[in-house]
Amino acid sequence: MQVGDLPRRATSPGAGATDGDAAVGQAPAGAEVGSRYWSAWLGDAWRRLLRDGFIRPAPITRAHLLTGLKAAVVPYLVSRGLVWAATIFGARNLVAPTGLYSNLYPPPALSPFFRWDADAYGYIAHHGYGLGTGGVAAEVIRVAWFPFYPLLIHLTGGSDWAMIIIPNVCFFAALALLHVVGARRLDADRAQLAVWLCALGPAAMFFSYPYTESTFLLLTVGAFVLMESGHWLLAGVGGFAAAMTRAPGVLLAAALGAEGVLGRRRAAIVAVILPVAGLLTVSLIQWAQMGDPLGYIHARSIWIGPPRNPLYLVGSFPKAFIEGDPFNSEAIGVPILLIFAAGAVWVALRMPASYGVFAIAQILLAAQQGLYLHIFSLVPRTISVIFPCYFAFATFLAPRRSLQLAWLLISASILVVNAIMYGGWRFIG
């Protein structure tokens, strides 16, 4: 349907218009044309969604996976080299604030990487959610963190080395699968750029720390790889594990639901149950061990900051810039959120509905969390795992070589600064 067809149909002899109508009723006719235009546009959009808004499964071969692994090697080594060196530099050159140390007492080679949440995950791996000796305050441990990563630590021996090896192996595998999906949805060049953008992201240092980001990234990208190849129930299993790793993993149920409805796939609709079951399993574990099935929800109240002027949302970055303070971890929270939100909109418009639903919902959760806690320093870490957004960034930057280089340099610089601060026990999210 052409836009120009609408006015002609509205004023054609067969439309029932008279000369008097044309002379007196031009405004209503214009309103009617506008109404018809938007109705037609929405109808076309809905038909396109029903026709093109879902994944058309195709086999993912061993060759695809090997190509992804090869594509991940250099971005992984370069980015991890920066992260490891910067973290160690921060640990050796920044004086830790009084009273901050790891209760896990890792070996000297690993100690720069064991900060903040790492203690909690190690504690849960050894004690579960029950009370044990030492560690982070019990009331925080029992309500804050999800059990899948601690379970992996426990199953691989429970050592400090296991805690650091698991996230690094997961991140390398996640980058490989990110390339596989990118090559299918975009092309090889943009897929490679997406891998670099993810590896050098401003909060990508968390992918190498004893945190859940890399495990969650692997499980969510892996779930979409399985959807791309038509393994709906296995994708649901990935969603089950992702929901036990971090609460946003349950959003894979929405992605599977979109595929089930638009693609009329019964297996995908059945698989919706699995991510929901993962979150329910977390509730059951926490209920059994600490008597609170909604501990992961109640946990957020522990970190609510004092009331703040809402203008801090727009003022934190200019304030840090004017004061020349590159170590203000909150300053980049809102700008990065806006960049990822724009990427999520692109995903919703250009990729299958499952990708768009997954990206948009995570953006909304991150924004809600920042507003609820009155702090946006957590946002870069929270949204670093929204992998479809990297496809949007790669598509935008691919034809703009100079901007592409500037983007990567700025992002890598923020990454290095954040890693230095983390190593020096500065809270960055």
Q: What is the DSSP string of 67-99?
A: HHHHHHHHHHHHHHHHHHHHHHHHHHHSPPPTT
Per the prediction, the chain carries an average pLDDT of 87
Average pLDDT over residues 362-367: 95
pLDDT band at 303 (very low <50, low <70, confident <90, very high): confident
Whether pLDDT at 228 is above 90:
yes
Contact 141, 135 (CB under 8 A): yes
**b/e per residue, 103-135, with b = 16+ CB within 10 A?**
ebebeeebbbbbbbbbbbbbbbbbbbbeeeeeb
- Are 286 and 296 in contact by the 8 Å Cβ rule? The answer is yes
What is the structure's pLDDT at 3?
Answer: 38
Residue 16, pLDDT score: 41
Query: Distance (Å, rounded) from C-alpha 249 to C-alpha 377?
Result: 21
Structure tokens at 364: 């909304």
What is the Cα 357 distance to its own chain's centre? 12
Distance CA 278, CA 243 (A): 5
Tokens representing residue 143 in the block:
């309500």
The 3-class SS string of the chain reads CCCCHHHHHHHCHHHCCCHHHHHHCHHHHHHHHHHHHHHHHHHHHHHHHHHHCCCCCCCCCHHHHHHHHHHHHHHHHHHHHHHHHHHHHHHHHCCCCCCCCCCCCCCCCCHHHCCCHHHHHHHHHHHCCCCCCCCCCHHHHHHHCCCHHHHHHHHCCCCHHHHHHHHHHHHHHHHHHHHHHHHHHCCHHHHHHHHHHHHCCCCHHHHHCCCCHHHHHHHHHHHHHHHHCCCHHHHHHHHHHHHHHCHHHHHHHHHHHHHHHHCCCHHHHHHCHHHHHHHHHHHHHHHHHHCCCCHHHHHHHHHCCCCCCCCHHHHHHHHHHHCCCCCCCCCCHHHHHHHHHHHHHHHHHHCCHHHHHHHHHHHHHHHHHHHHHCCCCCHHHHHCCCCHHHHHHHHHHCCCHHHHHHHHHHHHHHHHHHHHHHHCCCCCC
Mean pLDDT, residues 114-119: 92
Give me the pLDDT at residue 311, please. Answer: 75
pLDDT band at 305; cut points 50, 70, 90: confident
Among residues 356, 326, 335, 332, which one has the least CA distance to residue 344? 356
Higher per-residue confidence, 325 vs 380: 380
Name which of 357, 311, 327 is nearest 428 in CA terms. Answer: 327
Query: Which range (56-60, 125-129, 144-148, 158-162) has the least confidence?
Result: 125-129
pLDDT tens track for 18-49: 444 444 445 455 666 666 666 665 666 556 66
- Say if residue 244's pLDDT is above 80: yes
pLDDT at 376: 86
Residue 324 has pLDDT above 80, yes or no: no
Three-state secondary-structure class, residue 53: coil
